[in-house]
Structures are given as structure tokens and as C-alpha cells.
């Protein structure tokens, strides 16, 4: 790799990119689909990344008219998104939600008590780019990267002044407003934006009992800020802020008595960096971060369903890249973070620290390329963990290549797993996983094809043990999968097709893991007719099971969405989106409701998903 390419890769790291247009394409490169940051924790061409990956740029978000991160993830091969009463879960390659690492501008945002990142709260108008790497990356990132890593980048600055205003209205009393201003010069860039989304929602439960028959709405206020400054020819610094807070209503499905439950939530992250060249071949970057997750449940009929839970995380990273020679590169780094939990529930321990060191070597030759990495984590509460990864890339010719890889991942037990009063086990170990994978990639006349076959073995899964009456590391899972994708343009239509086949099994019982469809398919088609754009999406999932015992079967379904756009002028654009065009009635999860105040017996109901919906939006981007 030439040093000029190394410098470009360093400039593409989160928060970087501020040289003027004539000197460097760095700002534009973060918007390009053929670059990725997350796979190797540094920018590189997607064709060189060893992990299977998908990238959505801001242009993709606007073309697809996606209104949430989960809506984007549904298009990724091997990724399934479902909701239970309005609360989303996401499964990468058959793993569960807490086994996927979620980053916003490099910062972990998952709750340290539940292990879940509320990506549904992240406002899409504040997002520049979403990257998804599939397969374990704990050798680079540490805990929770078993299924993969989802990294979200907030909006970036551009030269000059570029205001943007968006107004939208749609079904279920939905109103959306957002405003942003991007600008800067050759040395300093910024992007500042805010949004307010409101919806009256719909009744999530089907039994129509008491106050739970009301609509379940949401109000979400969000803001973001990115600021980057070139200190001199060798050094740059920046700051990023992303904040969402609001109110989300839900139905208290497990209570007999009626109530008016809702969550007052806040999800935020802040980060700063300093980056520069310590030598001709040595790039160094220091990052400091803070993230915060707070949920206050109020209005439930049962007092035990109400309460506040908040987690705070402080972090620091030092990442160094050394170009040893044109073919060999070495990455060395250290990570530190501290988690703290607080709220109405008192845990036996309320804080923990994690220290980690990692190293990864990359070799790129003409006949083959290799990657070998190791990370050591030392956690104050659950001990030490070593994670390896290795990959061998064999080019067939200039158009296609094979990648054989092995990766290890682990999930940290949460504060609830370890210390929840009466239901925690402080002796829990981390869940661990090993993944073996074979990938093929090809690019033929503009048609990009990818396919992968993998096996993931997960051990020491945390499950409730009725004998000891506490959680224990007693469960095991094996996930076999095949996934494929193709992107091409045909007769002016831009098409993207993703297919996934998985066999996710509990190794002790032989049952299929709950809420995992064995077959999924996603298809997007879009075309531009001058000032008019037309597109559609089709998602199809096979049946799944709502429970671990495989007693409650959920039917498969297919959903068709349509979208259209009209560039009324250079600065005005209309967008119209119709979702679930055929008003398909389907369920992704179930709940049980007691039939009398004693709580027995119970009846199983399916959560209600939205029917046919429409959203009309106007975007104004005046030139100043």
C-alpha cells in the first residue's frame, strides 16, 4: 500500500476529513459505497475488507426513503429485525440482539444493564452513513461483537453553507420536522442539525383490554453536531455529539389491570479525537468518548413495572497504524471504558472497568493477502478474555476472489445478568463464539456478487437455571448459514437482491432459536426518469417460532413497499412512500395475557404490526 493511500485511509476515520476539495477527496470518500471503516477499524476499500459487509450512504438513505436504522438493516443479508410491542430486536446471522455491537461515531451505545442498543431511537435525518460488518470482530472491538458490528456515522460538514429543511406527514398522525446547516472552509467543517418526530401510533396489542386498547405513540427530539479542524499539515482534531430524547408509549401486555404505560428515554453519545502523523510511516489517533442511556418507565398498572434505569459509559482509545513496507501494515491499540449503572433498582455492584490491548497485522501481496489479529480484554467484574481472528484472501483474477476466515467473539454479561437483586449471578463468565467462514466475491461488468457460507458455535450462553434459581452459563447454540447478494443496473433500474438461509439451533434441545426465520429475501429496485424517481422494495421471511420450546409458530410473510420522488426544482424535492401496500396482517412476536386477576390461565396473543401506511415529505435545500 502506498503511503498516499495510507494517509487517505487515516483521513477517512470517523470525524476526520477536512482538507479542501482541491487537495483531498476525504469528505466525499466517507459518502462513497466502495469504502468501509468498521471492518478493520480503519478506512479501506470494501473489496479488501475481510468481513462480509454492507454500506448505506446518505444517498442510499434518501433514495430508499428509509426512516429508521432498523428499516435499513432489513435489507442486509443475514440480518433480521423484529418488534415485540414496539421494541425492536435485531439478529445478525442468527445471534441475539445483545451479541451485536452498535457504535455511533465510534462510541458504544448499548445499555450496560440490558445489553441492547435502542437503534430505533436514532433519528435518520442525523445520519450520514451506516456500515454493517457480519461475523465476529471481537479481536478488534472486544465485547459483544459475536454476530457483527453496526456502526452509524452522523452527518458531516461541507465547504460553504448548505441549509436543509424537511417536513413530512403521514398515517397514524405522523409528523416529522428536521433542519440542518452544514458548512465550513478549507480548514474547518461543521454540521449542526435538529429534528422532531411525532406519531400517534396504533394499538400494539390485540386483546383490546382496558386502557391497553389505546394507540401507542412516540415523540422523539434529536440533535447532532460534528466539528472538524485541521490544525496544520500533519494534525487534525474534532468533536461529535448525538442526542435523542423523548417519550414512547406501549401496552402493559403482562398485567391484568389497565394502565397508561410509557417510557421517557434518552440515548446520547459524545466523542472527540486528535489525529496526526508521528512519522512518515506512523499514524496515531487518540479518541475520548461518553455515552448515556436512560429509561424511565411510568404509568404501568403494576408498580414493579415502573422505575428508572440509566447507564453511563466513559471511554478512551489510542490507535496506531504503522506502514512497515508497501505490503505490510501493523495496527496497535489500547481501549479503556468504564460502565456505571444507576436508577431505582439497586445493584450489588454499580460500576466496572475494562482495559484492552489489540494488534492486527495485514499483508497484501499479488498472489494472496493475510490478516491476523489478537486482542486481550481484562474486565474488573467478569475476568479476562482473549480473541483471535485470521483471514486468507486468494484472488482468482482481477474480478473475483475467495476469502477463508476464522474469528472469535464474546458477549459480556450485563449488570442485570450479574447483579440484579434476587436474579443475578456474579460468577457468570462471558459468552464465547467461534466462526468459520468461506466467502466469494465477484465483479462482472458492473454486477457485484457476494456469497458466504459460515458456521458459528456459541458456548457458555447465559440462561436461567431452575435448579440454582439464577442465571448460569449452561446453554449452547450452533448456527449454520449461507447468504448471497447481487447489485446491478439493468435497463436503467438499480437493483439490489439479498438472500439468507440459516439453521440456528439450540445444541442441547435441537430446537430452532426463537424469532429467527430460516429463509429471508430482500429486493430493492429504483430508477430515475429525469426529475422523477420510482422504486419499490419487497421483503419476504419464512415462518419462525415465538418461543424457545418451538410450541408457538409464527407464519411467514411478504411485504411490498413503493416509493416515488419528484425534484420540483434544484432546491425542492417531494417524496412519497407507501409501506405494506397490500395491508398484510402479520406478527413478529407474541405475548401472554392472564385471563383473570389471579394470573392463571393465560392466553397467547400476537403483537400487532402496522398495516398500510403512507408518508409524504418535502425537502428544501436552498443555495446560499
Instruction: Report domain extents, the chain.
Output: 3-620
Instruction: Evaluate if residue 20 carries a pLDDT over 70.
Output: no
3-620 architecture in CATH?
Beta Barrel (2.40)
Query: How does residue 432 score in pLDDT terms, banded at 50, 70 and 90?
Result: very high
For cell 451485536, the residue is 100
pLDDT at 21 over 50: no
Q: What is the pLDDT of residues 118-165, one digit of tens each?
A: 999 999 999 999 999 999 999 999 999 999 999 999 998 888 899 999
pLDDT at 603: 78
pLDDT band at 166 (very low <50, low <70, confident <90, very high): very high
Q: What is the 3-state secondary structure (H, E, C) of 544-592?
A: EECCCCCCCEECCEEEEEEEEEEECCCCEEEEEEEECCCCCCCCCCEEE
| pLDDT of amino acid 30 | 63
Residue 253: which pLDDT band, with cuts at 50, 70 and 90?
low
The sign of the CA dihedral 202, 207, 208, 209 is negative
Report the pLDDT value the prediction gives residue 209, as an integer from 0 to 100: 67
Cell of 346: 439497586
Helix H or strand E encompassing 605: strand 602-606
Share of the chain above pLDDT 90, in %: 70
| Residues 564, 533 contacting (CB under 8 angstroms) | yes
Rounded mean pLDDT, 94-107? 93
Q: Write out pLDDT tens, residues 75-91.
A: 999 999 988 877 888 99
pLDDT at 104 over 80: yes
The pLDDT of residue 255: 62
Q: Which residue has the higher pLDDT, 33 or 57?
A: 57
Q: Which residues contact 466 (CB under 8 A, 6 or more apart)?
A: none
The whole model's pTM is what?
0.92
pLDDT by residue (tens digit) across 195-246? 999 999 888 887 766 556 778 889 999 999 999 999 998 999 999 999 999 9
Please name every residue paired with 368 in a beta bridge, in sequence order, or none if there are none.
none
Q: Is residue 25 predicted with pLDDT exceeding 60? A: no
Residue with cell 495496527: 331
Residue pair 417/405 in contact by the 8 Å Cβ criterion: no
- End-to-end C-alpha distance for the chain, whole angstroms: 40
Mean of all residue pLDDT scores within the chain: 89
- pLDDT value, residue 15: 39
Write the DSSP symbol of residue 5: H
**Which pLDDT tens digit goes with each residue over 369-410?**
999 999 999 999 888 999 999 999 999 988 899 999 999 999
Mean local confidence (pLDDT), 30-58: 88
pLDDT at 14: 40
- Cis amide prior to 601 (ω within 30 degrees): yes
- Cα–Cα distance measured from residue 127 to residue 180, given in angstroms and rounded to the nearest whole number: 11
pLDDT of residue 13: 41
Cell numbers 414496539 correspond to what residue? 86
pLDDT (0 to 100) of residue 257: 61
Taking residues 182-189, what's their average pLDDT?
Answer: 91
pLDDT digits (tens, 9 = 90+) for 473-511: 989 999 999 999 999 888 889 999 999 999 999 999 999
CA dist., res. 165 & res. 175, Å (int): 14
Question: Can you tell me which residue has the cell 435489507?
Answer: 75
- For 145, the grid coordinates are 461483537
Three cell numbers, residue 376:
486481550
pLDDT classification of 300: cutoffs 50, 70, 90: confident
- Tell me the average pLDDT across 534-543: 96
Residue 453 predicted with pLDDT over 90: yes
Confidence of residue 254 (pLDDT cuts 50, 70, 90): low
Identify the three-state secondary structure at position 141.
helix
Amino acid at each position: 500500500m502506498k503511503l498516499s493511500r495510507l494517509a487517505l485511509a487515516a483521513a477517512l476515520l470517523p470525524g476526520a476529513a477536512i482538507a479542501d476539495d482541491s487537495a483531498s477527496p476525504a469528505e466525499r470518500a466517507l459518502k462513497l459505497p466502495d469504502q468501509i471503516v468498521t471492518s478493520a477499524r480503519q478506512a479501506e476499500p470494501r473489496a479488501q475488507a475481510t468481513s462480509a459487509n454492507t454500506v448505506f450512504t446518505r444517498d442510499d438513505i434518501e433514495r430508499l426513503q428509509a426512516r429508521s436504522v432498523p428499516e435499513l438493516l432489513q435489507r442486509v443479508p443475514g440480518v433480521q429485525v423484529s418488534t415485540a410491542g414496539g421494541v425492536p430486536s435485531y439478529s445478525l446471522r442468527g445471534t441475539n440482539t445483545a451479541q451485536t455491537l452498535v457504535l455511533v461515531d465510534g462510541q458504544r451505545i448499548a445499555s450496560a444493564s440490558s445489553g441492547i442498543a435502542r437503534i430505533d431511537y436514532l433519528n435518520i435525518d442525523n445520519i450520514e452513513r451506516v456500515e454493517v460488518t457480519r461475523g465476529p470482530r471481537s479481536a478488534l472491538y472486544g465485547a459483544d461483537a459475536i454476530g457483527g458490528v453496526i456502526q452509524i456515522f452522523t452527518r458531516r460538514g461541507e465547504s460553504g453553507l448548505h441549509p436543509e429543511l424537511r417536513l413530512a406527514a403521514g398515517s397514524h398522525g405522523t409528523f416529522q420536522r428536521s433542519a440542518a446547516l452544514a458548512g465550513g472552509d478549507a480548514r474547518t467543517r461543521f454540521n449542526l442539525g435538529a429534528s422532531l418526530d411525532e406519531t400517534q401510533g396504533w394499538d400494539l396489542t390485540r386483546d383490546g383490554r382496558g386502557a391497553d386498547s389505546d394507540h401507542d405513540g412516540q415523540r422523539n427530539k434529536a440533535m447532532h453536531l460534528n466539528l472538524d479542524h485541521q490544525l496544520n499539515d500533519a494534525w487534525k482534531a474534532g468533536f461529535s455529539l448525538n442526542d435523542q430524547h423523548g417519550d414512547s408509549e406501549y401496552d402493559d401486555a403482562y398485567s391484568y389491570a389497565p394502565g397508561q404505560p410509557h417510557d421517557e428515554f434518552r440515548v446520547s453519545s459524545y466523542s472527540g479525537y486528535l489525529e496526526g502523523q508521528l512519522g512518515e510511516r506512523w499514524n496515531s489517533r487518540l479518541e475520548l468518548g461518553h455515552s448515556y442511556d436512560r429509561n424511565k418507565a411510568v404509568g404501568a398498572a403494576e408498580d414493579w413495572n415502573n422505575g428508572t434505569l440509566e447507564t453511563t459509559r466513559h471511554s478512551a482509545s489510542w490507535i496506531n497504524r504503522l506502514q512497515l513496507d508497501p505490503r505490510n501494515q501493523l495496527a496497535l491499540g489500547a481501549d479503556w471504558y468504564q460502565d456505571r449503572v444507576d436508577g431505582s433498582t439497586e445493584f450489588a455492584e454499580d460500576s466496572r472497568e475494562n482495559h484492552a490491548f489489540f494488534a492486527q497485522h495485514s499483508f497484501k501481496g499479488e498472489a494472496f493477502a493475510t490478516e491476523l489479529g489478537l486482542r486481550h480484554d481484562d474486565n474488573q467484574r467478569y475476568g479476562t478474555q482473549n480473541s483471535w481472528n485470521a483471514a486468507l484472501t486468494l484472488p482468482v483474477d482481477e474480478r473475483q476472489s475467495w476469502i477463508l476466515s476464522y474469528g472469535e467473539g464474546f458477549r459480556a454479561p450485563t449488570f442485570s445478568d450479574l447483579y440484579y437483586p434476587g436474579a443475578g449471578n456474579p460468577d457468570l463468565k462471558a459468552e464465547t463464539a467461534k466462526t468459520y467462514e468461506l466467502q466469494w466475491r465477484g465483479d462482472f461488468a458492473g454486477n457485484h456478487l457476494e456469497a458466504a457460507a459460515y458456521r458459528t458455535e456459541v458456548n457458555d450462553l447465559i440462561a436461567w437455571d431452575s435448579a440454582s434459581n439464577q442465571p448460569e452459563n449452561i446453554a449452547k447454540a450452533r448456527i449454520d448459514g449461507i447468504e448471497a447478494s447481487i447489485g446491478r443496473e439493468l435497463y436503467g433500474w438499480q437493483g439490489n437482491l439479498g438472500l439468507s438461509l440459516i439453521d440456528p439451533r439450540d445444541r442441547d434441545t435441537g430446537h430452532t432459536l426463537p424469532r429467527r426465520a430460516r429463509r429471508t429475501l430482500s429486493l430493492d429496485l429504483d430508477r430515475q426518469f429525469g426529475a422523477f424517481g420510482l422504486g419499490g422494495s419487497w421483503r419476504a421471511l419464512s415462518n419462525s417460532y415465538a418461543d424457545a420450546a418451538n410450541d408457538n409458530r409464527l407464519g411467514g410473510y411478504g411485504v411490498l413497499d413503493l416509493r416515488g420522488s419528484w425534484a420540483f426544482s434544484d432546491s425542492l424535492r417531494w417524496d412519497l412512500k407507501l409501506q405494506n401496500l397490500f395491508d398484510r396482517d402479520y406478527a413478529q412476536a407474541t405475548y401472554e395475557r392472564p385471563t383473570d386477576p389471579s394470573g392463571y390461565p393465560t392466553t397467547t396473543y400476537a403483537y400487532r404490526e402496522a398495516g398500510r401506511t403512507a408518508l409524504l415529505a418535502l425537502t428544501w435545500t436552498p443555495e446560499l
